[in-house]
Each structure stands twice: as C-alpha cells, then as structure tokens.
Amino acid sequence: MANVAMLTLLKPERNCVDFIRSNILLIGLAIGSAIMLLIPMFKKNAGGVPNLTAPEAVTFINRSNALVLDVRDDAEFAAGHIADAMHIPLANLEARLGELKKYKNKTILVNCQRGARSVKACDILRKAEFTQVSNLQGGLSAWVGAKLPIVKQTNNAPAKAATKAVTKKVTANTVAANDEIVKDPS
C-alpha cells in the first residue's frame, strides 16, 4: 500500500517533466516573448538617464528651458541641428566639461544622430555629477522623423559659430542670423 502511495506522489513529477520535454519550444517562445516585452521598459531609463521621444523633448525644452547639447561631429552638426543647440563632439566632451559647469544643476537634453553616442555622452555627464541629464531617444533622426524643425548653416562659417546660442525655446524666433529653419530636410 505504501508503494502505491509513493508511485502516486511521483507521477505528478514525471508528468511535469514529460510536459516540459514535449513543449520545450513553446516554453522557450513564451520566455523569449516576456523578455522582449520587458526590455523597452528597462531601456527607458537606462543608466538613470531618461530617454525622451521627440515630442516629449520639445515640451521638455520649452518648459524647463533646457540646454540642448549636440554631440555629433562637426559635419553632421553643420548639416542640421536643433535650434540653439550647443555643439560639443562626443570625442571632445570630457576635455570640454568645463564649458558646461554652469549647467551642472540645470536641465540638459543630449542628442546625436541616432541616439547611441548621446547615451555615452549622458554617462560621461552623469559621472561628472550633472544632475538633470536626459537623452533624445532616436537622436536627430527621430526629431526629423517627427517633422520638427532643424537649423542648417547657410554660409561657410565654421560649425562652432552656431554653438554660442544656448537654452532658448525651440521656436522660429531663436534662429541665429547665419542659420535657416528647415522643416523637411529631404
């Protein structure tokens, strides 16, 4: 009688193992799907820096008077940038942190072309104890994709000439004299 009871207790364990063996692909698919659904939630605030979509970034810039920091190279910046963006290429950011000291406790929106370099720049800024840093998710490509205006240099002035302007609302009134607003860069 005791042997029958033991066999009955072992059967559910055996059934579970058989179930897992026969449905391993479906179980793997369910676990993979769960992971893929959770990844965007973890990426939203990767490294403690919020990622903002282009429309959120416009609101962020206008409400908090944020500094827009463009970390692309000179040629990319000259081809088009967010109005009043300060330009410091990622390769020079650590060496030029002194230029940003006055913004240490102010809001900064960092952007690059697609969002990868700006994440690195946000990490550098956070390590340098900048407290209110945000990343433009998708970079300038997302900004242009949302049909938001960019500024292009129209003369042959160096790209650094446009870096003097900082923290003003993103409107047509803030474009520098040597720049023009371009709504559709294509």
The Cα–Cα gap between 128 and 122 comes to 10
What would the 3-class secondary structure string for 68-92 be? Answer: EEECCCHHHHHHCECCCCEECCHHH
- The residues carrying an active-site annotation are 112
- Residue 155 token pair: 């003369």
What residues contact residue 63 under an 8 Å CB cut-off, 6+ apart? Answer: none
